[in-house]
Amino acid sequence: MLVIVAGALLRLAVAQRGFNFDIASYRIVADIMANGGNVYEETQRYNYGPIWFHILAFLDTLPFPISDPLLSLRWKVTSFLSITDIAIAVCLYRWYGFKIATLFFLNPISIIITGYHSQFDNLAILMALISIKTLDNSSNKLSYKTLLGLFLLGVCLSIKHLLFLFPFWLAFKNTRWRDKLITLSIPYTVFLASFLPYLSKGADGILNHVFLYRGFANAPFWNGVAPEVIIDKIPIFVLFIGTLLFLGLFLRTKKPLESLYLYTIALVIFSSAVANQYLAICLVAISVHSNYIYTLYSVAGTIYLLASSDGLHFSLLQHYLGKSGNSSVIGYQELVFLLFLGLLLQLMSAETRTKTLHLVKKYILCLKQEIIMQIKSPW
């Protein structure tokens, strides 16, 4: 309870720094819903399934002591997303215990993204956890529990399509083609069916602003490590999709919940477009599989978000670190590279990990001795 109270208060405290573009977009969407309009027809500033704008419409009707409609909705959204984080922490507490739940809930990246940025990736992650946990507890055969889990995965996609390729990861695990087709068809059918009530007037908006929407293609991993000849020949979005599908095939022996954690980490690393809110997508996974590199990622990500112009924008830190994720001292490239190293460490066997750590310690000790010798050398 102390952890929950502390984490919730920190999220509300961070909200004192203000808000950004997303909250203004939510206000537009809530007004459209209040007037009985079609969100997909009337604005370009909504790129997701319909569930979130119904939640916004509900939150907007709740009484609140602040009269300003923008600020009122802003505090309601922050409170709702904080409750969502609490629900995730409770799941982690029940499944793994106090330590992992605390690592997630008090992670400063989670606090900043929920409290300031107010993106709702955590709601999709919560639904994904419930969905895949249901699948994890079902038998290998297609049972009612399996079908329920696949349906909930479709609901997850309808909230925010972070897991748009994850049905393929699940299908790769099936041994029969019938099971593969069912695993693919149920989530995508639920996702597509959610748009049907808005199709008559909002078809163009759904096509252009949901299915064809692309964020700013900064692709930090690909622009940081891939040779230019590859980037010039192959579109980065194709590299992104291809890598995720290959990893799903390569990791098909993992259990569904373990695959979910690996997917969320890979999604952030190999994405063709990364923004601040992406940094929180993998937090459940790196809390469950914590290692020292994931800890470095959390520390570096926190420092970046404190300085970022789209984060808490502390001017003192901006002076030393810069304020853009593409040009600052700690930026998206450094963060996804740390995440990549953490993933490699996670996937290593215990024996390989021990040998690697021993080798690293050996070279660090040699480097330390060499530096000391250089310092003590005579004039």
pLDDT by residue for the chain (379 residues), tens digit each?
A: 999 999 999 999 999 888 888 899 999 999 999 999 999 999 999 999 999 999 999 999 999 888 889 999 999 999 999 999 999 999 999 999 999 999 999 999 999 999 999 899 999 999 999 999 998 876 556 778 889 999 999 999 999 999 999 999 999 998 889 999 999 999 999 999 999 999 988 899 999 889 888 777 788 999 888 777 788 888 889 999 999 999 999 999 999 999 999 999 999 999 998 989 999 999 999 999 999 999 999 999 999 999 888 888 887 777 667 666 555 678 889 999 999 999 998 988 777 777 877 787 888 888 888 888 888 878 7
Cβ atoms of 33 and 57 closer than 8 Å = yes
Domain boundaries, the chain: 2-347
What is the length of the chain? 379
The pTM of the whole model exceeds 0.95: no
